[in-house]
Each structure stands twice: as structure tokens, then as C-alpha cells.
Structure 1
Amino acid sequence: MAHEGILMGMGNPLLDISVAVDEHFLQMYDLKSNNAILAEEKHVPMYEEMANNPNVEYTAGGATQNSIRVAQWMLQIPGATTYIGCIGKDKFGEEMKKNSKLAGVNVQYYEDESTPTGTCAVCVVGDQRSLVANLSAANCYKSEHLKRPENWALVEKAKYYYIAGFFLTVSPDSIQLVSEHAAAHDKIFMMNLSAPYICEFCKDALEKFLPYMDFLFGNETEARTFSKFQGWETENVEEIALRLSRWPKASGTHKRIVVITQGADPVVVAEDGKVKKFPVILLPKDKIVDTNGAGDAFVGGFLSQLVQEKSIEDCVRAGCYAANVIIQRPGCTFPEKPDFN
């Protein structure tokens, strides 16, 4: 049975600033639809422009935090999930704390006094989104916070750990502490490829932690980018998933399962040298509000069943259900109670 503190996430807490924009806006800031990048100098003015939009919406975000919030919503067990990351001591940070606690997540933020809370510009064009993350305080997380006795006690209490690939650029030593703990204590450690730039620029870090990963998530673009920078010379998602699942493991206790989503196309799961495909719930185009957080929600739904030791089929079904709910609402938001059975 799932219990308090069973699932722990670590990542970059960002306050999502979500606005519907047009193609001209994307061109002006050199953005691509359905992509995620880190903010550069040229992107700074867009945050103010978006914050001044009368239809702006704010949500507690960041990839891992989204997945943990969705898992918590699906589980409906107070404090079943824990989340760690760094925020600033400011109004955005307070907004984030309020948002996450309302969702029932046990958040243990490291608060940086000198850096503002990280934000993510969510530029929505039709039903696609382009994400531009300004990490700010999220970039300041230190493993010293994780090692504090009260926080390490949360690591020891958890049985499942989930970290998005974005955290590789922030605190690889924290990832190392958790991944080694999981391997030594027969627990489940999971990560996500997260974005094409992570597969390209964090290739070495990904390779370092791959042996510890019992589950690896990603989408088809990330999988193909990973393949390209490994020199695998294949764009076949099923083949890439299989090769990732066969990557050597640090601990022989658990096999690795690789789960690749493909938007409206079937979810690919590689396990035991075989690939299974699971259809997603297709929605008419007019029902899709925006796809922001769909991948994160899929992972959150998946994890909510995994921690209850349900079958992979049930995990995928829950992932598809959660993603389906989220794309019918603005941002990564959900109704009060799930109706998944």
C-alpha cells in the first residue's frame, strides 16, 4: 500500500507564467513550438511582457514538481509525496509554497535569500507550448540541504525517487546521493530525458546515472536526440527504447523499464528485451486547451500506480488518464478529485 512519504521528487521548482501568444511572438524571441530551453539574455524582456498580459496565469511548476503534484492528486493520501528544490524568499516563492501545500505535497524547499524564485515562461500557441525556463533560485540547490538530518530522513522514508533530467545541470551530487541510496537499499530510482538539450549537452551526466535508473521516461524527440548523440544511427523509437533498457545496471535487483511517450501516438514501453505499445486516449482537437505539462502529468499518473505496485499496463493507463485531464485545462492543473478507476 502507498503510505506517507513513499514517493520523493527532486528538481527545479519554477512558477509557470502562462500566456497564449502567436507565431510572431515566437519568432521575435527565437522560440520553437513544442520545445523547452533555458532563458538567455535575449529572452529576459518576454517575462515582463507576459506578466503584464491581462490573461496571464500562474501555477506551481517545474517538470518534477508537476509530476509529483499529479501523483499526489491521483493518490489522494495526504503527504504520500515529498518534493525538494530551491526557491527564493519572495512573493513568487510564497505563491509556490501555498500552491504545493494545497495540493497535499510535503514540500521541503531550500530558500535562497539572495536569488529570486525561478520562473518558466509557458508560451501557448494553439494547443502547443514553448517553454523558456529562467532557473534563478532553482539553480542554487545545494546537496548540504539534502544532507540535513530532517531531509535525509525523508530520503530514507521514501521507496521511490523521481528526478527530471533538468536537475542534472543544478545538483548532480544530490542525484548521486539519492541514486546510490536507492541502489544500496533495493529501492526504485527513476529519471526523465526531459528535453533535447539535456540529451545533447548533459550526455556525460546522463550516462553516469543511467546505470542507476530503474525507470527512464522521455518523449520521442528526446529519445531520437539521445540516439543521435550516442551515434546509434536510428530514429526508430522502439529500437532506441530497447537499447536504453539494455544499458548496464549498477544494481542487479531491478531490470530497467523505458517508457517513451509520442504525443497522440502509442506509448512505447521496453522491458525484458521486448517492446509493448499502448494506445493513448485520443481527444478531438477542440477539446485540447494546451499541452503544457502533458508529459509531466503522464509520469505523475504512472507513478501513482507504480507506488501501489500495480501492473505496467495500469501505470500507463493512469499516465494516459492524467495527461488527458491536464490537456483539457490551462497549465498543469486538475480538478479536486480524480475519477480514474
Structure 2
Amino acid sequence: MVGAACAYYAARAGLSVTVVDRAGAAGGTTGAGEGNILVSDKPPGPELTLALRSAGLWRELGDTLDGSRFELEPKGGLMVARSDAEHAALGSLAARQRAAGVDVVDVPADALTTVEPHLARDLPGGARYPQDMQVQPMLAAAHLLRAARARVLTRTTVTALRRDRTGAVRTVVTDRGTISTPAVVNAAGVWAGEVAALAGTRLPILPRRGFVLVTEARPPLIRHKVYAAGYVDNVGRDDADLGTSPVVEGTRAGTILIGSSRERVGFDPTFSLPALRRLAAEAVRLFPVLAPVQVIRAYRGFRPYSPDHLPTIGPDPRVPGLHHACGHEGAGIGLAPATGEAVAALLTGTRPPIDLRPFAPERHDVHL
């Protein structure tokens, strides 16, 4: 998704764009995502600034490209507390987010079932986030690429990045030939570290495995993207062990998506039954009505985890001609448009609309 957004905004800025993908479009992390476009899960700071900009751009894309074609839904999010301690933490977070420009509506305990009729009756309260949205990520990536009118090379693997005499990257070598270019954008997600290494530099991007359960289709049960307040802390965890926090939402097809889990186990594709059981149990804790509903499948993906929990966006001063747009972890779908817009500005020599210094590649300071 991030690569597709970079292609779209670069092409819109008048550049000629070639997209190289070793699989098919959305064949990696994007195809394994839920399609979250969230401002609610981000404390005040540079990532929230990026998310607010991106939410506005998603709305523009919905108007420009007909968002119904990629299931862009401004359904809003509902964060709920499962304990008094979570409720207090949620209240503090919401107050700080509100001061930073986020639209937040406090929902007391006795009003929760007005917002979501099937929620458990013993929850102490929550907060509703009207700016949160959902999209079908594979469709959205495909439509962005189509609108970009870019040259798209699928089933094509990048094998080397060649530099000229000045040290700048000027040639992309693939298993199907070479491409001459004045600039390369590394939007390889979980594999961005491998691409950086081809240019002789390093990014500390690691895979963080997660699972999603998909239920049988049901009549509409859930109106918003609903998740526990502990989700924010789970996203910000640094340890490698399994962590879960329930995220429950419906789709247009009537199925219900249940997440989310996080663990760093490399690229181990094994399905973890303990993780799946925990996700199901936590979803039923929020929505008891789901107890008899059948799960029809589960899928897993790998998020591009960055140790400081911020994406890497911008030119690499260690390798002229190389730009990075990666490391968004589980927020890549939501943050893609603002990332693509910023990269396109850099490529055309204009000033990006947001401050990219917190996302600068050199902050990692790990030049080979």
C-alpha cells in the first residue's frame, strides 16, 4: 500500500514511475491487513500528525477514485475500557488527543450499548473516534496503482542497486533486466532492510507476526471498529513475546474480523493455536453475542516493526538517490497517502506538507 501510494502521488506530480514487486500487487503485508485507517490508537506526536494528514487524504481519495470501489468506510472507531484502570488511562489519552486535533467523543458506560448494541454490559466506558475509517487494502492498492498509470513489474525480484561514480544509486538490477533511474524509493515493507542492504546501508526493520480470525457471514452486528483501550499499549510494546488486544469489526460481506496479536518470531509462518484461542476469547469478552459464531478461516501476516515505533520516510543521506518509505508496522494502510505525498514532494524538490525530521533514516545511525 505504501509503495502504491508513493507511485500514485509521484505520478500525479508528473514523474514517470516504475513499480517493481517480486510477488503480485498487495501480495505481502498489505494483503494480510485489516485495512485500518486510525487516528485513535496514536498518542500526540509525529505519527499522529502523519495520521491526521493521511486521514484527510483518504477522504480525498474516496472522492477522487470512488471509495466505494475499494470499500472505504468512514465507520468511526470505538475504544472501550475493560477495567477502571483502563478507563482512566483512556480518559487521559483522549484528552491529550483532543488537544492535538483529534475528534473524540467520550462515551459513558450507560451509553455504550446505544453506540454498539451488542457490547458486554459491564464495561466502564469508552471513547468514539469519528475520524477512524476502514478500507479493503488489496482493492485500494490496486486502484491506486491503476490511477497512477505506472509501469508495474510483478513477479520481478530486485537483485542489486548499482551506484555511479559519485556513490548515488542510478540503476536497479532485477532478474528480468535493469532499470536506469535518478531515484529509488524503498517501500518494501518487512523486506525494506534487505533492499537497503543492496545499496550498502542498513535499516532496523524486523517482522512482527500477527493473526486475524474471520467469522462466517452474519446479519450486521457491529457498527464501528471496536477495540480495547489496551490496544494502544500493545502496539507500543518492545518485547518479542506474544501480546494480544481485541479488535473486532464487521465487513460489507457480513463476515467479522477479529485481531490483533503481535509477536517477534522472525518470518516463522506457523499458526499459533494459543494466539488464535486468545483472540477468540477476548472478542467474546467484548461481544458475548459472538460466542456461537463460527470462525471460517484465519490468516497471518508480518508487520514491518521499527524499534522506535516510527516509520522511516525520506532521503538516505548515506546513499544519494535512495529514499525510504517503510517501517510503518501495523499502520501502513492508514499512513500510506501522507507518506506517498511526502515522498513525491521530496522527489520533485518541493517542501513536504509535514515535518519529516522525526522519520529521517539517519536517526537509526547504523551505516555499514
Query: What TM-score comes out, normalization by structure 2 length?
Result: 0.27
Name the structure, 1 or 2, with higher relative contact order (CA <8 Å, separation 6+).
2
Query: What TM-score comes out, normalization by structure 1 length?
Result: 0.29
